[in-house]
Amino acid sequence: MALNINPIISECTCYAVCGREIVVRLDNKNLTFDDLLKLKELCGVLSFVEEKDNDLCVLAISDKDKLPSEYSLVSLRSKFFVSDSESIYRMSRAKALASWLADTKFCAKCGAPLVARESESALECKECGSIVYPRINPCIIVLVHKGDKILLARHAQRNQDIYACLAGFIECGESAEHAVEREIMEETGLKVKNIKYFGSQSWPFPSQLMFGFTAEWESGEISKQDDEIADAQWFSPDDCPATPSPGSIAYLLIEDAKKKQKSV
Ligand SMILES: [Zn+2]
């Protein structure tokens, strides 16, 4: 597959994105290529991609205040919850490619402008020959169990109104399991064991791939990392504070814990 930065009219699946939101038509019909051309003209362009072999076309608009009245913006995450897996994949890919292209303009080796490759979805530098592929940042997200309680934390910098699973980027040289142990120790001072893979989810905000795990508390008392965590506590799954809304792997991890508690 290849990225076409100068798109041609086609019948591909079309998306327009703006930050963490996606453009929808108020008549509930799918966006067409004509919609993208119209939005491109009126709302400005951060990136515009047609991935011909994947039948995917995506526009990242720069000015949502100029969105015509027949469209509106909805949270992409909310669409994940109500869409089938193929649609979620296509929306995630569209958002990830749009964000990557908007942020990737020049060669990191020599500083020359990057151009789309014809043979694959990548950019290349005509000066030094470097090839740049869409970036994915692997992360872990983990729900720690201690007896019939689960560990939830309120983040100090983001989503401050909810308690969620602990999460973090996998660092160079680490396995995912190593990252689970390190993140939990860094953020709460707890040692964990029996780390088990739960599932994964593309999280294109802008480029994360979330690897979900469960783990069991092994030792230690909660000692939170103040610059990252505002609060961390053990909760009963059936008596949690506000937690992540549907559409995320955090939601699935917590729901799974609730189901298991009910079945005991
Ligand atoms: Zn270069």
Cis peptide before 241 (omega within 30 of 0): no
DSSP secondary structure string, 149-201?
Answer: EEEEEEESSS-TTS-B-EEEEPPTT--HHHHHHHHHHHHH--EEEEEEEEEEE
| pLDDT on residue 218 | 98
| pLDDT on residue 261 | 82
Residue 245 CA, ligand 1 centroid: distance in Å? 43
What is the value of pTM for the model shown? Answer: 0.87
Residue 87 CA, ligand 1 centroid: distance in Å? 35
| pLDDT on residue 12 | 82
| pLDDT on residue 180 | 98
CATH number given to 137-263: 3.90.79.10
Q: Where in the chain is the domain with CATH 3.90.79.10?
A: 137-263
| pLDDT on residue 236 | 95
Q: Report which of 206, 195, 204 is spatially closest to residue 80, judged by C-alpha positions.
A: 204
Per-block mean pLDDT, blocks of 10 residues, the chain (264 long): 53 89 94 93 89 87 93 91 87 92 94 92 96 96 97 87 95 98 97 98 93 98 91 94 89 93 79
Residue 184 CA, ligand 1 centroid: distance in Å? 39
CA distance 16 to 62: 11
What value, to the nearest 5°, has the Cα angle with vertex 249 and ends 251 and 211?
Answer: 150
Residue 65 CA, ligand 1 centroid: distance in Å? 36
Q: Report which of 17, 20, 75 is spatially closest to residue 48, judged by C-alpha positions.
A: 17
Q: Report which of 238, 243, 239 is spatially closest to residue 258, judged by C-alpha positions.
A: 238
Residue 115 CA, ligand 1 centroid: distance in Å? 11
Residue 21 CA, ligand 1 centroid: distance in Å? 33
Residue 107 CA, ligand 1 centroid: distance in Å? 5
Residue 205 CA, ligand 1 centroid: distance in Å? 27
CB 63 within 8 A of CB 40: no
| pLDDT on residue 226 | 86
Residue 109 CA, ligand 1 centroid: distance in Å? 5
| pLDDT on residue 78 | 86
Residue 228 CA, ligand 1 centroid: distance in Å? 37
CB 77 within 8 A of CB 247: yes
CB 172 within 8 A of CB 213: no
How many alpha carbons lie under 13 Å from residue 107 in its C-beta half-sphere? 16
Residue 217 CA, ligand 1 centroid: distance in Å? 48
| pLDDT on residue 80 | 85
Residue 123 CA, ligand 1 centroid: distance in Å? 11
